[in-house]
Copies of this chain bind each other. A is one copy, B any other.
Amino acid sequence: MPNMARSKKHIARREQLVDATMRAITERGRQNLRIRDIAAEAGISPGSVLYHYPELDELLFDVHRVVVERFYQRRVELVESHDDAARRMVAAIDTGLPEGRDDAVAKTLYEMHGLADRSSQHGALMTSLFDREVALYGTILEIGVAAGRFALTGPSRDIARTLVVLEDGFGLHLLSNTTSVDLTLARTLLARYAHQATGCELPI
């Protein structure tokens, strides 16, 4: 079964290339991305990149998909590692903001926004992430209400959407060079909004 060989290594290389591309995008930005950068980051030759991904668009799409999945899964895991409603909210806020200028997942995610503009496939990915983030916050809110910790000032869905949009806005500024916005401010204002919307003091 000679195809088994191809499959295994092929798949491994493709995963490796997705990671390499994430790093390359983090370092150079998507618009300056060259095949040789991906190749160098993966430690192989440019020709091999094309061998495993004849269509560069496919690689970029896989990167987007992986990054969306990692970002979301990490949030779910960290949120679910807490029982207390307030701590769950803080976990959601913390995992929703980029950790720094070198946060590869967050950086790549934002670089992908420029693609969503012209590609409905990328747009669909972004929408799926947005919807799941809203659902995540929605669940946190509802459970908090059920536990008697939160008293919402409006529909949970609206609060959840506002939180996600706020995160994205802060993310944009944190990854740009808007010096008026830093991580502490972002956490503080997000927590303040959450406090106001839930009536629950957050341990931030």
* Interfacial residues of chain A within 180-203, with CB under 8 A of chain B in the complex: 180-181, 185, 189, 192-193, 196-197
Interface size on A, residues (CB 8 A): 46
A18 to chain B, nearest CB (A): 20
A173: contacting residue among B130, B173, B176, B179, CB under 8 A: B130
What is the predominant secondary structure among interface residues of chain A facing chain B?
Answer: helix
Known: A123-B178, A130-B181. A173 touches B168 (CB 8 A): yes
Taking Cβ atoms with an 8 Å cutoff, the residues of A that contact B are 29-31, 111, 113-114, 116-120, 122-124, 126-127, 130-131, 134, 153-154, 158, 161-162, 164-170, 172-173, 175-181, 185, 189, 192-193, 196-197
- B residues within 8 A CB of A180? 127, 130-131, 134
Docked complex Cα distance between A173 and B197 (Å): 22
| This chain's copy number in the assembly | 2
- B residues within 8 A CB of A179? 123, 127
Do A153 and B31 touch across chains, with their CB atoms under 8 A apart? no
A162: contacting residue among B114, B164, B189, CB under 8 A: B189
Docked complex Cα distance between A29 and B115 (Å): 9
Do A177 and B117 touch across chains, with their CB atoms under 8 A apart? yes
Docked complex Cα distance between A167 and B185 (Å): 17
Interface centre among A29, A126, A169, A180 (most CB of B within 10 A): A169
- 21 A-B contacts (beta carbon < 8 Å): A31-B114, A111-B114, A113-B172, A114-B114, A117-B176, A126-B176, A126-B177, A127-B180, A154-B192, A161-B185, A162-B166, A162-B192, A162-B193, A165-B170, A165-B181, A166-B169, A168-B173, A169-B170, A169-B172, A193-B193, A196-B197
